[in-house]
Structure 1
Amino acid sequence: MWTGVIPAVTTKFTADGELDHAEMERCFSLQMQAGCDGIIVCGSLGEGPMLSPDERLEVLKTARSVAGGKPVLLTVSEAGTREACALAARAATAGASGLMVVPSPIYHTDADETVATLGAVAAAGDLPVMIYSNRVAYRVDVTVPIMERLAADKRFVAIKESSDDIRRTTEIINHFGDRFAVLTGVDNLAFEALSVGAVGWVAGLVVAFPDETVAIHRLMKAGRHAEALEIYRWFRPLLDLDVSTFLVQNIKLAEALAIGSTEHVRMPRKPLSGERRAAVEAIVRTALERRPSLKLAA
């Protein structure tokens, strides 16, 4: 359940801002057809903070309908612990396979508060939990000492390692062995993380380029690193689009160009325009023109 390529999918909206379940079904199905190993909904890329709790559960339901029994995780990223616990409990009732949990994105918790908050959410949902550690975006770093304090609770099974320090993956594995499944959460560090022992990739650009993402992971798992690296080097300019304040707009534009999807976002976000749009579109179109053959990756 906690290995492989797990897309952090985008949430699809209609032109008037409502949930577009038909387009989500189509796009989520493309991920499953490519061989992805699960789905994570309503994260940063999924515009979770712009969705109501009811809407998040609707997106969860849509993802479960196309996942073919593969795990579907709901992201819990609430300002308050009480609200996070309530959402976790509802997710469990709604059939989520597990949770990806972010400490409060508004208040930057210290170590004691981080442990208490994560523990409370895990208890409320009583589901397997992937800890989302992203000190760059959320200013809360779930370090090895903090993980040590959480390790006794068996509900904590994995960590989405997004510290932007490739050394952290090795530090976690050296300290805990296989106690936690380590998945990389930084697209443009994926090859590096998989090289040093990460067992999975919570991916962003996969939503536009699922076949290439899955190919890299499978080649790495098979020890065919040189072949994986060739695809990864082609992929890197695209993967860099994930590491940006505008990651949602960047990736939705990539989806529009690569798989014919939509770019609708929820305000305060607006679709890319002007020079920024032109730059991203050039990156995506160049990648599409130079798309590698994946015949040997099978």
Structure 2
Amino acid sequence: MQKSDFKGVLPAITTKMTADQEVDFAGVRADVAFQIEAGVDGIIVCGSLGEASSLVASEKLAIAKAAIEEAAGRVPVLLTIAEDSTRAGAALAAEGEKIGVKGLMVLPAMRYLADDREVVAHYRAIAAASSLPIIVYNNPLAYGIDISEAMLKEMADEPKFVAIKESTGDTRRINETIKALGDRYQLLTGVDDLALESLILGCHGWIAGLVVAFPKETVAIYQLVQQGRISEALEIYRWFLPLLHLDIGPKFVHNIKLAEHIVRGTSPVMRAPRLELVGAEAAQVRAVVEEGLANRPNLAKYGF
């Protein structure tokens, strides 16, 4: 996979669970098929939205394998590396390459808040474990570690680091990174309700969350921006914003799985300690989704 492949809409799909909280592999395959039919450019499995923290390595590999089989070469499948130790992350990266994963999205090691030197060493060790290209996932708001401009400069000598998932929540970082590093890395927006702004500022793609329920709308926004049809993209985006806000906060997995359930009838089951939303929290998500469905734009108006 070359750097240019990390562009477009890349859904970070949820991990479907059975009633007893086991991975539903038929559900995984159905999700992959649903996204590809809508025109996405790749599939990312076992990310934060995919409940990575509650999956063991063997499950992650099995999920990736199911996604690869369903994709059948139509789009690349990427595996997220979000392990508690560098050793575990490197091992998962190596095994992922063996089964046919085409790229990795890598987080700093979980739990321990490493310093800059340790973070860079972690990323270099993951890179050394396979020949796969890597998206460096920077989400300091959620994970407490900020991969700074200086760190990205230091890491630039490793060609496997090809892209950055920009999830700092600060669109100024996009311009600052481009100014400092030019086109060394492809930038991918990872915050749903900053996606349009980020794409206009120079991000090459959108690693999306609400795409799992609304892939055609997500793809339409991306493609309209690429065509320079910003005012039309903005029309869809403004409709989408209340839904995109569901991707923010500690219960974003809960929110998005419930949204998927309402829109598509998929399973809302999560693996404990997460529990399905109840009461006011569930009602709020339902209200947002039902309003969105009631006012869903006609994409034919935009040529989709």
TM-score band, normalised by shorter chain:
over 0.9
2:222 is equivalent to residue 222 of structure 1 = no
Instruction: Write the distance in 2 (CA, Å) between the matches of 1:243 and 1:27.
Output: 22
User: Map of 1:1-298 to 2, 5 A cutoff?
Assistant: 1-69=5-73, 70-295=75-300, 296-298=302-304
Instruction: Write the distance in 2 (CA, Å) between the matches of 1:82 and 1:24.
Output: 27
Instruction: Write the distance in 2 (CA, Å) between the matches of 1:76 and 1:233.
Output: 33
Instruction: Write the distance in 1 (CA, Å) between the matches of 2:287 and 2:29.
Output: 28
Q: Is the contact made by 2:14 and 2:45 (CA closer than 8 Å) also made in structure 1?
A: yes
CA deviation profile, 1:135-177 (whole Å, cap 9, x unmatched): 0010111111100000000000000000110011111111222
Amino acid at match of 2:199: L
TM value normalised by structure 1: 0.98
Q: SS at the partner of 2:244?
A: helix
Which of 59-68 and 163-172 deviates more? 59-68
Amino acid at match of 1:9: I
Q: Give, in angstroms, the shift of residue 27 of structure 1.
A: 1.7
Instruction: Write the distance in 1 (CA, Å) between the matches of 2:295 and 2:28.
Output: 27
Q: Is the contact made by 1:133 and 1:142 (CA closer than 8 Å) also made in structure 2?
A: yes
Q: Give, in angstroms, the shift of residue 126 of structure 1.
A: 2.3
Instruction: Report how many residues are paired.
Output: 298
Amino acid at match of 1:91: G
Identity of aligned residues (%): 49
Q: Is the contact made by 1:3 and 1:183 (CA closer than 8 Å) also made in structure 2?
A: yes
Q: Is the contact made by 1:219 and 1:297 (CA closer than 8 Å) also made in structure 2?
A: no
Which of 11-20 and 203-212 deviates more? 11-20
Q: Give, in angstroms, the shift of residue 233 of structure 1.
A: 0.2
Q: SS at the partner of 1:125?
A: coil
Which of 171-180 and 140-149 deviates more? 171-180
Q: Is the contact made by 1:5 and 1:38 (CA closer than 8 Å) also made in structure 2?
A: yes
Q: Give, in angstroms, the shift of residue 285 of structure 1.
A: 0.4
Instruction: Write the distance in 1 (CA, Å) between the matches of 2:90 and 2:280.
Output: 42
Instruction: Write the distance in 2 (CA, Å) between the matches of 1:297 and 1:55.
Output: 40
Which of 86-95 and 156-165 deviates more? 86-95
Amino acid at match of 2:166: E
Q: SS at the partner of 1:91?
A: helix
Amino acid at match of 1:136: L
Instruction: Write the distance in 1 (CA, Å) between the matches of 2:40 and 2:108.
Output: 27
Instruction: Write the distance in 1 (CA, Å) between the matches of 2:84 and 2:26.
Output: 30
CA deviation profile, 1:167-198 (whole Å, cap 9, x unmatched): 11111111222111100000000001001000
TM value normalised by structure 2: 0.97
Q: Give, in angstroms, the shift of residue 62 of structure 1.
A: 1.1
Q: Is the contact made by 2:71 and 2:77 (CA closer than 8 Å) also made in structure 1?
A: yes
Q: SS at the partner of 1:279?
A: helix
Q: Give, in angstroms, the shift of residue 253 of structure 1.
A: 0.6
CA deviation profile, 1:22-75 (whole Å, cap 9, x unmatched): 111112211100100001100100001111100000110111122242111100
RMSD after superposition: 0.8
Q: Give, in angstroms, the shift of residue 240 of structure 1.
A: 0.3
Instruction: Write the distance in 2 (CA, Å) between the matches of 1:239 and 1:206.
Output: 9
Q: Give, in angstroms, the shift of residue 207 of structure 1.
A: 0.2
Instruction: Write the distance in 2 (CA, Å) between the matches of 1:96 and 1:90.
Output: 9
Unaligned 5+ segments in structure 2 are none
